[in-house]
A and B are shown apart, each in its own frame.
Chain A
Amino acid sequence: MIEKGKISPFQMALIIYAVVVGTAILYIPFITAQHAKRDLWLSPIWAALSGFLIVFIITKLYKLYPKKTLVEYSELILGRTLGKIIGFIFLFFLLYDTAIAFREYGEFVESAFLHKTPLVVVTGGIALTCAFAVHGGIEVLGRCAIIFLPIVLVLYLIIYLFLIPDLNVKNIFPIMEYGWIPSIKGSLAPHAWLSQFSLLSFLLPFLSDETKGMKWSILSVSVSVMTMVYINLGNIFLFGGIITSTQFPVFQAARYISIGSIFEHVESIVIAVWVLGGFVQLSAFFYMLVLGTSQWLKLHSHKPIILPFGFLIILFSVWSASSFQEMIRSMGTTTPFYFITIQLLIPMLLLFVAVIREKLRKA
């Protein structure tokens, strides 16, 4: 086995939470609002379906093939050749997913602060830092999550608490003015984000207490959805009708904080703390990608391929979209289908075949 470290179920829940929510809170409100308008807070609730379904599938698969990741058991389920192909498809997707996450991180830092810094410097810098964490293995990741994420979570909460004087609750009415459809259309992007819970497959084998894996995964989905609903509600209360045109509502909300004209201009703190969450998210992506690849290649250690993959991620993050607008547009249109196809359909297919095999073997 490549990784000998262990993490607690709580650490696992935090890591996967960071993977899903880290960039989601930045981009989801804007993308969702394009369709859902003022019902954008409903969309993550629909998307929770994907989250729960995937957790169910992944834990079920894990029960059939304990101590194995998706890349490993796909070979056992589908046979060597087909399994390798599916593994490759999944890993290639994961590379793209990771690169997109790095790109999202970079684009945000660029448009909020470092307008003139080349994107590669921003993403390269964080990639290098993440590489150290990945080198340390799963335990380092788990500890980073346990140290940083509580701070990040508290931050998400207090942004809107500080804005209470400016929040207008009436903005959410009328709820579902145009029926269910807009909020369901808007849930496309949250569906894609929550489908990333399929990556749990790379974390479950390292649990110190496997019996609690399911429970904490479900909890993590719930908290992720609640965070998104909370952020979306805060944004609609604050921005009302202009929610459809505010690109980084959370950032703009942080800028809007002003208490007694002393406590204001706090967005730099918000970003600094957000970067902590971003670091955990990107490291986790990076780690899973490297781990999966070394399992696919049957390497003895994941360490030699960390730097090459870091380089590859940066390349893909540049290739993935030619501009910020293109990235945003694809996140609201094509990317979710790609995400859901790979992350929901492949595990589903695997589970289907695995269950049939199980039945045949018993019969």
Chain B
Amino acid sequence: MMDSSRRRKNNYISLVLLLCLIILLLAGCWDRTEVNDLAIILATGVDVSKKEAIELSVQVFIPKPAEGGQQEGVSSGTNSSQTLVRSAEGVTIADAMSRLQEKLTRRIFWGQNEVLVIGEKLAKRGIEDQIDFWMRHSEPRERADVFVSMDSAKEVLESMPELERDSAKQLRKLVDSQIGVKVTVKDLSEMLSGEAGAAVIPWVAKLSPSNLGVNKGKNIPFIQGAAVLRGDKMVGWLSDKETRGILWPRNEMKSGIITIRTNGETGYVSLNLLRSNNQLMPKIMNGKWSIRVKTDADLEVIQNTSNLSLLHSKSLKEVERKVVQEIEDREKLALSKTQEKLNADIFGFAEAFQRKYPRIWRRKSSEWKEIFPKVDITFETKVNIIRTGLENEEARKGGEEK
């Protein structure tokens, strides 16, 4: 009896000692980093510097305590800058980063970096080496959105949007609206290493500020079309309209408004795209490569300034026919440019052929550069107008057309 109670007591004492030891561990990590030791990077710009090296610019978030809450009103977020931009040169991004660190009192932290802007000059020279940093280093995120900017990327970071807090937020919100292409670092890496060896990246241009804006004289970045890359080098640029055209075959067209005019009418009909689905149907016949771009779209009418009565299936068919034509025209416009002029397969045609004809592809993949411009493209577009809006034009026009 005595023995067992003493043993229990010993156990009890050792347990207490152990718990005391564990308390030591609660003090925290030995290499902890407090938030006020970090320079949180919101956006990064990469340019070619004058000395032909890499110029890395970062937009750093300035943490400020919330001031007085309501007093400054809603505009407080926009008129006082919450970010600063710093840049440094180096032979690689990582090298430039170490130089940049010398200028910043806080440790550079990539974890929140959501935007990567690449200057036009660098994009023309090749971006593969830059992407390597993003995929290899464990701190930057693969989900960061990538852009190519007209002129230097630094300027984009320095610009001040009117509605958003900073240019990083501005750019992210613009690509999220789904009217253009959206490319993350992961997507880009996938496109660059893919069979097609071509990529498309949203293009950032400058919008002059509105007159009433708070930051007069500063340009606002916005998305205008897309940069086209072959290999890892930028070879051309697509306008807004052409970019819309490439969204269809890429199956990224999810929203948009199409306005058409039917034959013999003066007014227009505008339709809102509800949903669309695209498929690429590759075919190799007698050594001739062709692709059928199959589109299936549902739309609704949102404005009708023509005299067409959309209650009649005949006029509805006419509108549908016109929409099909419009969509195909847009696709053709984009395709002719990328296929003939730029020779960059940004639609995933290569992958489509590879999936359908793996054996032929294995032999011919090295010749894709010569084959792609000659691929015959046909369209098969099906459009359904599923709603004609809330108004009935029979009532409005009193049926005068009939």
Contacts and interface: CB of A to CB of B under 8 A. Distances in A.
B186 A265 contact: no
B354 interface: yes
A136 to B, nearest CB: 14
A91 B141 CA distance: 43
Interface string B178-201: 000000001001100111000000
Interface in A155-205: 170, 173-174, 177-178
Contacts of B351: 170
A230 interface: no
A239 B190 contact: yes
Contacts of B266: none
Interface string B321-355: 00000000000000000000000000000010011
B174 interface: no
The main secondary structure of chain A at its interface with chain B is: mixed
A241 B138 contact: no
Interface stretch (A23-31, A63-71, A111-119, A322-330): A111-119
B355 A174 contact: yes
A254 B151 CA distance: 35
A252 B142 contact: yes
A256 to B, nearest CB: 5
B362 A177 contact: yes
The main secondary structure of chain B at its interface with chain A is: helix
B143 A242 contact: no
Nearest to A113: B138
A163 B30 CA distance: 34
A167 to B, nearest CB: 12
A112 B138 contact: yes
A256 B143 contact: yes
A265 B111 contact: yes
A320 interface: no
B138 A256 contact: no
A173 B30 CA distance: 48
Interface in B124-154: 135, 138, 141-143
B137 to A, nearest CB: 11
A177 B358 contact: yes
Interface residues of A, number: 24
B194 A255 contact: no
A258 interface: yes
Interface in A111-137: 111-112, 114-117
B31 interface: yes
A57 B358 CA distance: 41
A269 to B, nearest CB: 15
Interface string A74-88: 000000000000000
A112 B141 CA distance: 12
Interface in B185-233: 186, 189-190, 193-195
A15 to B, nearest CB: 26
Given A239-B186, A241-B193, A174 B354 contact: yes
A41 B143 CA distance: 24
A301 interface: no
A336 interface: no
B142 A255 contact: yes
B143 A116 contact: no
Interface string B303-327: 0000000000000000000000000
Contacts of B138: 111-112, 115
A255 B143 contact: yes
Contacts of A310: none
A256 B187 CA distance: 11
Nearest to A240: B190
Interface string A231-271: 00000000111100110000010011010010011000000
A204 to B, nearest CB: 33
A256 B143 CA distance: 6
Contact of A241 (B141, B176, B194, B355): B194
A116 B186 CA distance: 26
Contacts of A177: 354, 358, 362
Nearest to B348: A170
Contacts of A246: 135
Contacts of A117: 30-31
Given A240-B190, A255-B142, A245 B135 contact: yes
11 contacts: A111-B138, A114-B31, A170-B355, A174-B358, A178-B362, A245-B135, A255-B142, A256-B142, A258-B143, A261-B176, A265-B111
- Ordered nearest first, which 10 A-B pairs have the shortest CB separation? A173-B355, A174-B358, A177-B358, A240-B190, A241-B193, A174-B355, A241-B194, A242-B189, A242-B190, A256-B143
